[in-house]
DNA sequence: CGAGCATGGTGAC
DNA sequence: TCACCCTGCTCGA
């Protein structure tokens, strides 16, 4: 369930719970045993997120690079027995972090982290990110905006939910060629993502509906989807648009399900 | 209880 | 473009 907000939240939790502490590192499942043994008993310095990548730094410039992929998860909680397949466990006397089903988990170094960071576009959750890099990049791209938003080299941290929701909120047709959108529109996309993703990080869920369209305001039932948030179009195929009532549509774009309102999203 | 699917990305072809 | 990674949930039989 990971878009960028999940990784940034996780990085903060790891730093708060394990930063400056001696950490027991293990790999109950066995796929990371060699690396875990080298780190076991080391002090965790800090954890950082860059887009959807997570970097957990230990003393001696040793860094665990984690990518959760589609199905991976990392959960923090009180000390408890290992249940199921745990690729990596970080533990103190009172706190445990279990990594399950990640796409990637490897021991690397600062050079590798820097190289990875260099391949990523600006991250709306990075306070130091420069949206000018995004604007310069998209000026030459003819692919649809709905495709470009998922390209981590152009913009990092955005996933399939934020893609659909930010395009709806700004009334943009997802198939509009990226370069056809005026710079001001791309700037508006960036600004909206900064707000939405910061809120997503803070709440631990994705909420994108404006106050006037909330379940309370519209006397409708709250949404109970996997990510738990209130959204306009994501996974609402054939349901009425919360703004105009037109059935929400779905199609494949960039290998992922795209959801949009054909009536509200005609502009660019 | 099995099939299908999912907020993601890689690598083979 | 597709198989695959590998987990957890939902849905239909």
Kindly report the CATH number assigned to the domain that includes residue A183: 1.10.8.50
Which nucleotide is nearest, taking the CA of residue A163 and each C1'? B7
For residues A112 and A22, membership in a common domain is answered with yes
Which residues, other chains included, contact A203 with Cβ-Cβ below 8 Å and sequence gap of 6+?
A229
For residues A99 and A139, membership in a common domain is answered with no
Query: Confidence band (pLDDT; 50, 70, 90) for A39?
Result: very high
| Average pLDDT, integer, range A39-59 | 97
> From the C1' of B10, which residue's alpha carbon is nearest?
A103
Q: How far is the CA of A212 from the C1' of B3 (A)?
A: 40
| Average pLDDT, integer, range A103-122 | 94
Which residues, other chains included, contact A201 with Cβ-Cβ below 8 Å and sequence gap of 6+?
A5, A8, A9, A125
Q: What is the per-residue pLDDT for A158?
A: 96
Q: What is the per-residue pLDDT for A159?
A: 95
For residues A135 and A104, membership in a common domain is answered with no
Contact A69, A105 (CB under 8 A): no
Query: Confidence band (pLDDT; 50, 70, 90) for A178?
Result: very high
Number of domains chain A contains: 2
Tell me the CATH number at A102. 3.20.190.10
For residues A165 and A77, membership in a common domain is answered with no
Q: Which of A158, A150, A159, A154 is nearest to A121 (CA)?
A: A154
Q: Does residue A237 reach within 7 angstroms of strand B, measured from its CB?
A: no
Tell me phi and psi for residue A104, to 5 degrees: -145, 145
Q: How far is the CA of A233 from the C1' of B4 (A)?
A: 22
| Average pLDDT, integer, range A8-27 | 97
Mean predicted lDDT score pLDDT of chain A: 93
Domain boundary among A76, A91, A118: A118
For residues A78 and A139, membership in a common domain is answered with no
Q: Which nucleotides of C are covered by protein (CB under 7 A)?
A: 2, 5-9
Q: Is residue A265 part of a domain?
A: no
d(CA A199, CA A165): 14
Q: What is the per-residue pLDDT for A136?
A: 96
For residues A168 and A236, membership in a common domain is answered with yes
d(CA A45, CA A57): 5
For residues A57 and A152, membership in a common domain is answered with no
Q: How far is the CA of A252 from the C1' of C13 (A)?
A: 29
Structure confidence by residue, pLDDT tens digits, A222-263: 775 666 789 999 999 999 999 999 999 999 999 899 999 999
Q: What is the per-residue pLDDT for A1?
A: 64
Which nucleotide is nearest, taking the CA of residue A161 and each C1'? B7
| Average pLDDT, integer, range A175-179 | 95
Q: Is residue A246 part of a domain?
A: yes
Domain boundary among A96, A118, A140: A118
Q: Which domain holds residue A21?
A: 4-118
Q: What is the per-residue pLDDT for A224?
A: 59
Element (H, E) at A48: strand A42-50
Q: Is residue A210 part of a domain?
A: yes
| Average pLDDT, integer, range A37-49 | 96
Q: What is the per-residue pLDDT for A218?
A: 84
| Average pLDDT, integer, range A8-13 | 96
Which nucleotide is nearest, taking the CA of residue A86 and each C1'? C7
Structure token digits, residue A28: 């109950």
For residues A109 and A141, membership in a common domain is answered with no
Residue whose tokens read 């309102």: A261
Active site (annotated) includes residue A52: yes
Tell me phi and psi for residue A55, to 5 degrees: -120, 120
Q: Is residue A123 part of a domain?
A: no
Active site (annotated) includes residue A143: no
Q: Is residue A125 part of a domain?
A: no
> From the C1' of B9, which residue's alpha carbon is nearest?
A69
For residues A52 and A22, membership in a common domain is answered with yes
Domain boundary among A87, A118, A149: A118
CA–CA–CA angle A182, A244, A178 (5° rounding): 20
Query: Confidence band (pLDDT; 50, 70, 90) for A219?
Result: confident
For residues A135 and A223, membership in a common domain is answered with yes
For residues A64 and A146, membership in a common domain is answered with no
Q: Is residue A53 part of a domain?
A: yes
Q: What is the per-residue pLDDT for A215?
A: 87
For residues A9 and A79, membership in a common domain is answered with yes
Query: Confidence band (pLDDT; 50, 70, 90) for A128?
Result: very high
* Residue of A2, A102, A124, A174 marked catalytic: A2
Q: Is residue A174 part of a domain?
A: yes
Q: What is the per-residue pLDDT for A226?
A: 62
Q: What is the per-residue pLDDT for A114?
A: 94
Active site (annotated) includes residue A3: yes
d(CA A268, CA A262): 13
Residues by Cβ under 7 A, strand C: A 29, 31, 69-71, 73, 84-85, 87, 100-101, 103, 226, 255
């Amino acid at each position: 369930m990971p878009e960028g907000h999940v990784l940034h939240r996780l990085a903060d939790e790891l730093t708060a719970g394990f930063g400056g502490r001696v950490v027991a590192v293990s790999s109950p499942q066995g796929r990371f045993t060699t690396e875990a043994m080298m780190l076991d008993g080391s002090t965790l310095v800090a954890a950082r997120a860059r887009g959807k990548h997570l970097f957990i730094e230990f003393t001696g410039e040793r860094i665990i690079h984690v990518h959760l992929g589609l199905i991976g998860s990392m959960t923090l909680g009180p000390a408890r027995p290992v249940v199921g397949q745990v690729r990596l466990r970080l533990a103190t006397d009172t706190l445990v972090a279990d990594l399950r089903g990640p796409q990637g988990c490897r021991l690397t170094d600062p050079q590798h982290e820097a190289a990875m960071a260099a391949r990523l576009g600006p991250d709306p959750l990075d306070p130091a990110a420069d949206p000018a890099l995004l604007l310069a990049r998209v000026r030459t791209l003819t692919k649809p905006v709905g495709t470009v938003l998922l390209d981590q080299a152009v913009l990092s941290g955005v996933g399939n939910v934020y893609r659909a929701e930010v395009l709806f909120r700004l009334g943009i047709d997802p198939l509009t060629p990226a370069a056809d959108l005026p710079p001001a529109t791309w700037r508006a996309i960036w600004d909206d993502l900064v707000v939405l993703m910061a809120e997503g990080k803070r709440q631990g869920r994705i909420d994108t509906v404006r106050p006037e369209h909330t379940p309370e305001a519209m006397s409708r039932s709250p949404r109970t989807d996997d990510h738990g948030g209130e959204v306009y179009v994501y996974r609402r195929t054939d349901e009425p648009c919360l703004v105009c009532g037109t059935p929400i549509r779905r199609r494949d774009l960039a290998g992922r399900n795209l959801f949009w309102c054909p009536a509200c999203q005609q502009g660019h």
